[in-house]
Amino acid sequence: MHYAALASGSKGNCHALSEDGLTLLIDAGISLLQIRRRMEILGLDSNSVRALALTHEHSDHIGAVGVILRNTDWAILATAATRTAVERIQGIDIPPSRWIEVEAGRSCSWEGWHLRPFALPHDAEDPVAYRIEAGGQAAAVVTDLGHPTALVADHLQDLDLLVLEANHDVDMLREGSYPPQLKARILSRVGHLSNAAMAELLGRALSPRLKQVVLAHLSESNNDPALARFAAEEILRGTSVALHVAHQREPLVLPPAVA
Ligand SMILES: [Zn+2]
Ligand SMILES: [Zn+2]
């Protein structure tokens, strides 16, 4: 499996997973033009994209869905509630011919890949993260959750690659310039994962199989990549796990066959 973070952060998210000439995107919070451009920068073929899996309806995850429906033939994977919310927010119809319904807790297959969506504690209609198995490897992309749950930790066992939210440093957020309501939302149990909570969840995901960890959805205002890294490194000390940080403005690609 080949992984790339095309963009990650509160201004737009898009992850690409490729195997055997097929690419699945997770979320499309940057423009279709940017998706294609960033894939090209990384040497990935944007014609290999066949499907887009949505996690939830917040704008930093779905901004390009309307354009994608009109300009590509990609299938859209989403839960029924997320599909309805995206249609309402974007003023679009996702036709049944383009939609593959997924459901938290129910495994599904896509082009020989094995996908398992699972529920996240986040303030959206029906937010999910995805555990994905293809080519004998397992990955999970887990962002936009307010706190670590046992259910989430259960889905992070025996992964080769974990992409995990490290949204904020609690002190930076508390002392920062965000309005009080927004701070309270981010800090809530259905908000975003702090560096400390990320470290706790990462500890529960450690296994001899884990090779790559990508910290994702970092806030540009309320986090410092060095702080997020430091929190993860404390957990990973003594292991051979490689640690990466995904960015908002630049794509990140991991070497093939190791992810
Ligand atoms: Zn988000
Ligand atoms: Zn969100």
Per-residue pLDDT at 255 = 76
Per-residue pLDDT at 158 = 98
Cα of 142 from ligand 1 centre, angstroms: 11
CB atoms closer than 10 angstroms to residue 203:
14
Cα of 146 from ligand 1 centre, angstroms: 11
Cα of 114 from ligand 2 centre, angstroms: 24
Cα of 110 from ligand 2 centre, angstroms: 25
Ligand closest to the CA atom of residue 26: 1
Bridge partners of 253, per DSSP, are 4
Looking at domain 2-253, which of 1.10.1740.10, 3.40.50.360, 3.60.15.10, 3.20.20.70 is its CATH number? 3.60.15.10
Cα of 218 from ligand 1 centre, angstroms: 10
Going by their DSSP bridges, the two strands 137-142 and 212-216 should be labelled as unpaired
Cα of 88 from ligand 1 centre, angstroms: 18
Ligand closest to the CA atom of residue 27: 1
Buried (b) or exposed (e) across 213-228, using 16+ Cβ within 10 A?
Answer: bbbbbbbeebbeeebb
Going by their DSSP bridges, the two strands 242-245 and 212-216 should be labelled as parallel
Cβ neighbours for 25, distance < 8 A, ≥ 6 positions apart? 6, 14, 15, 16, 17, 35, 49, 51, 52, 53, 74
Cα of 129 from ligand 2 centre, angstroms: 11
Cα of 217 from ligand 1 centre, angstroms: 7
Per-residue pLDDT at 259 = 47
The residue ranges of every structural domain in the chain are: 2-253
Q: What residues have their beta carbon closer than 5 A to ion ligand 1?
A: 60, 144
Ligand closest to the CA atom of residue 63: 1
Cα of 47 from ligand 2 centre, angstroms: 28
> Is the pTM value of this prediction over 0.95?
yes
Enumerate residue ranges in the chain where pLDDT < 70. 256-259
**Helix runs in the chain, H state only:** 32-41, 59-62, 65-71, 80-90, 150-154, 170-175, 180-187, 195-205, 225-236
Residue 180 tokens read as 């009080």
